[in-house]
A = this chain, B = another copy of it.
């Protein structure tokens, strides 16, 4: 897919999952931004997600990709960063234990810092509120409030040109994201959504994230490109 004429710099949060990959594809291929991808090594349980982020940044032509080590795991409080809390095999009610306290706020804050240094016009995040697993910091009102805060936080803001936070997937369900990603040429087999992926990035097929992802492929009528762990391919 040809790259369109470049329109400004963007910092794109890239987790290695399908949502952020689709978001990067949209920023780079549809909007034509020069994309600076940002990932975090924050004590999550597996490295496969970060390995996936490296692959995706390369496949989608990010201008640059940085991975910051942050000590979010040292603060505890989530099944994704605390070995003492088990990842559930079945989805439950309310905010799940995989919620990492203030994760998106921390990630967006670093994106804001880097956008200021790069003089970037945009920050992209792949959060979505439809299949959001109950996380408070994936809601449209949260994104709007972060934008309002960012409008006061930086040198660019004081100069009257605050960075614009975009969450283009926020109103899309998984099926719509998968369809959009396919149309933008995302290789979903390179992405990792599973909370318990193995070292190669193969998925467990059973956790919340795997269930949402599989249901998304089914609803979109697109073949599931996910690599599953031996003996764990779902239904």
Contact = CB atoms under 8 A, between A and B. Distances in A.
Interface in A138-156: 139, 141-142, 145-146, 148-155
A72 B117 CA distance: 11
A173 interface: no
Interface residues of A, number: 44
A112 interface: yes
Dominant SS among interface residues on chain A: helix
* Identical subunits present: 2
Nearest to A66: B74
A101 B116 contact: yes
Given A106-B106, A145-B152, A75 B113 contact: yes
A225 interface: no
Contact of A104 (B110, B145, B153): B153
Contacts of A110: 72, 75, 102, 106
Interface in A49-96: 66, 68-72, 74-77, 95
A84 to B, nearest CB: 12
A136 interface: yes
- Candidate in A71, A109, A136 with the most chain B CB atoms within 10 angstroms: A109
Interface of A: 66, 68-72, 74-77, 95, 99-106, 108-110, 112-114, 116-117, 136-137, 139, 141-142, 145-146, 148-155, 157-158
Top 10 A-B residue pairs of the complex, sorted by shortest distance between their CB atoms: A77-B117, A101-B116, A102-B113, A145-B149, A109-B109, A68-B71, A142-B152, A102-B112, A106-B109, A105-B109
23 contacts: A69-B71, A70-B70, A72-B110, A75-B110, A75-B113, A75-B114, A95-B158, A101-B112, A101-B116, A101-B154, A102-B109, A102-B112, A105-B109, A105-B149, A106-B113, A109-B109, A136-B154, A142-B149, A142-B153, A145-B149, A145-B153, A148-B148, A149-B149
